[in-house]
C-alpha cells in the first residue's frame, strides 16, 4: 500500500518501547541556481506546505514573493516557475541551510532540529560569481554560522535579513521588510521593480 505521507518524509526510525517515538525526518528542496548568480538567499528549512507543494515559500501568507517581486521587478501573482525564472535572470539563487531535518511543531522555525546541513560550500565553490549570502531570518543565520564551514567565505558578504515569515510581524510588514532587504542587499531603489501588492498577515 502506498504511503499517504509526502515523499519528503524520509524515515520513522524504530525506537525501543521505553523511549519516545522518534521524529520523522524531511528532505529540503533542491537549490534553484541560474547562470552567473551573485546572490544566494538562504532560508532555514521549507515549511510543511512548501514540502507538499515542492515550492519555495509555498505558504501564500509568507511575504517572500512580495518582497522579491518588488526588488527584482515581477509580480508575486505569477506562476511559480515564472517567478523562479525572474529570480534566476536577476542573478538570485535559493536554497535552505537544512538538508535533512525534523520539525515536530508545524512549520515553526524554533522547533527545527537539523540532522544534516546542505553542502552550501560546494555551491559557492562551483559558482564563484556569488558574492553575497543572505539569510532570510535569524534562524537561518544562526544555523549557517553553526553548521557551514568558513571555507570559501573569505570573499563572501554575509547578510542577515528580517524573516519573510508572517510570524515575524511588524507594522506595514511587506513594505518595511522590502525596504530593509533593499538596504541590506545594497540594491539600487530605482531598479527595484513593481510596487508591493497587499498581502494578508
Catalytic residues: 62
Cell numbers that stand for 152 in this block: 570559501
First and final C-alpha spacing in the chain: 40
At residue 182, the 3 state secondary structure works out as helix
Question: In angstroms, rounded to a whole number, what is the distance separating the alpha carbons of residues 117 and 120?
Answer: 8
Strand partners, 116: 100
Instruction: Check residue 30 and report its DSSP letter.
Output: P
Strand 26-27 vs strand 98-102: parallel, antiparallel, or unpaired?
antiparallel
Question: In angstroms, rounded to a whole number, what is the distance separating the alpha carbons of residues 41 and 94?
Answer: 5
Q: Are 97 and 118 in contact (CB under 8 A)?
A: yes
Amino acid at each position: 500500500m502506498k504511503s499517504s505521507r509526502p515523499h519528503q518524509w524520509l524515515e520513522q526510525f524504530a525506537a525501543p518501547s521505553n523511549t519516545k517515538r522518534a521524529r520523522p525526518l524531511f528532505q529540503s528542496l533542491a537549490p534553484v541556481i541560474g547562470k552567473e548568480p551573485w546572490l544566494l538567499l538562504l532560508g532555514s528549512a521549507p515549511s510543511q506546505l512548501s514540502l507538499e507543494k515542492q515550492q519555495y515559500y509555498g505558504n501564500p501568507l509568507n511575504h517572500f514573493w512580495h518582497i522579491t517581486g518588488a526588488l527584482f521587478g515581477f509580480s508575486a501573482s505569477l506562476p511559480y516557475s515564472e517567478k523562479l525564472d525572474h529570480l534566476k535572470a536577476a542573478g538570485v539563487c535559493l536554497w535552505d541551510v537544512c538538508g535533512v531535518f525534523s520539525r515536530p511543531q508545524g512549520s515553526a522555525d524554533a522547533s527545527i532540529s537539523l540532522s544534516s546541513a546542505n553542502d552550501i560550500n560546494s555551491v559557492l565553490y562551483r559558482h564563484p560569481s556569488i558574492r553575497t549570502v543572505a539569510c532570510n531570518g535569524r534562524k537561518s543565520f544562526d544555523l549557517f554560522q553553526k553548521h557551514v564551514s568558513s571555507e570559501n567565505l573569505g570573499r563572501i558578504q554575509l547578510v542577515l535579513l528580517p524573516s519573510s515569515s508572517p510570524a515575524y510581524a511588524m507594522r506595514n510588514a511587506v513594505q518595511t521588510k522590502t525596504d530593509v532587504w533593499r538596504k541590506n542587499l545594497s540594491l539600487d531603489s530605482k531598479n527595484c521593480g513593481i510596487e508591493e501588492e497587499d498581502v494578508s498577515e
